Amino acid sequence: MLYLNDSLRELTPMPETIEQLLIQLSLEKKRLIIEHNGTVISPEKYDVTFLTDRDRIEIIHFVGGG
């Protein structure tokens, strides 16, 4: 289970990395900022940032427009 934007969610299977989480949620890396337990993670580190039970993930989406 993970906290995603302050909501506790049970994901099956439990993703091992942020990269796997984004794939499982069908999110593209573009236009996202990911915070893992209070630390902003650069996109280059998504595949090596491992997740454990009850980690806190904040996903911030950027939307273009005018």
| Strand-by-strand arrangement of the 2-4 sheet | 7-9, 2-4, 56-61, 32-36, 39-41
pTM of the model: 0.90
Residue 53 lies in a domain: yes
In the block, residue with structure tokens 């005018």: 66
Q: Is 26 left (phi over 0), alpha (psi -120 to 50) or beta?
A: left
Range of the domain at 19: 2-61
Q: For residue 46, which of 65, 64, 20 has the smallest C-alpha distance?
A: 20
Residue-level pLDDT at 64:
76
**Each residue's pLDDT tens digit, 5-62:** 999 999 999 999 999 999 999 998 888 999 999 999 999 999 999 999 999 999 998 8
- CATH, residue 26: 3.10.20.30
